[in-house]
Amino acid sequence: MAAAEIPNLTDSARAVLRLLASHGPVTRPKLGAMLDLSKPTMSAAVSELSALGLVASRGIERGAIGRTATIYGIGPGAGYAIGIDVGAAQVRAVAYSMDAQKLASAEEPIPETIAGDADAVGAVVESVARATMAKVAKSFRALRAIAVAVPRIVSNDRFDRPGGPSAVLGLLRRSIEVPIVLENNVNCAAIGEMHFGAAQLTLF
């Protein structure tokens, strides 16, 4: 599977997409105010993104005096990413849209007989990734990246050694042509807490 092509966007459309990815669904008037864009520029940016499937309507917001505004969020065309946790006894994967909406998950056990075999564990990783992709495929077709967390030290001097941390990615890299990031599971947990958990708004 090859990586999905990322379209060229105008600066205003790129700004809207970036804000929706970080902030979540927002009405068009609020988007314009947050980005300091005029109504015509805002309309053009939303139309550009909608035509590409990068944003989509998420409903209607009704104001106090009866006015309504369309709520926009990241669309299926923006794609999704997969996070994979390689544990001691199982591999678990979760797919998220670009605005952090959970789409699907899958998991498989790691048999004790292969626990020390990086290639065999890598086959489980690839299988779980494909199972997750299959669940998402009907609505979100563009896989943008995969992040893999492992319970080992990930460093330049150990990375590509035989049996080193990257060994579990061999099959995944050969079969799925998207950016793949490998990181220590504790570091991944810290990043997750910083964005979605107890460490939000904390500066490190």
CB within 8 Å of 48: residues ≥ 6 apart = 9, 10, 13
Residue 20 shares a structural domain with residue 70: yes
Residue 45 lies in a domain: yes
Quote the domain boundaries for residue 155.
79-196
pLDDT digits (tens, 9 = 90+) for 151-186: 877 765 555 566 666 778 888 999 998 999 988 888
CA atoms within 13 A on the CB side of 38: 2
From the number of C-beta atoms within 10 Å of its C-beta (0-12, 13-18, 19+), residue 32 rates as buried
Question: One digit per residue, pLDDT tens: the chain, 204 residues?
Answer: 545 566 789 999 999 999 998 888 899 889 999 999 999 999 999 999 999 999 999 888 887 666 788 999 999 888 999 999 999 899 999 999 888 889 999 999 999 998 888 889 999 999 999 999 999 988 887 899 999 998 877 765 555 566 666 778 888 999 998 999 988 888 888 888 877 777 776 665
Distance, first Cα to last Cα, the chain: 37
Q: What is the pLDDT of residues 143-159, one digit of tens each?
A: 999 999 988 777 655 55
Please tell me whether residues 169 and 189 are part of one structural domain: yes
Name the pTM for this structure: 0.79
Domain boundary among 58, 75, 92: 75
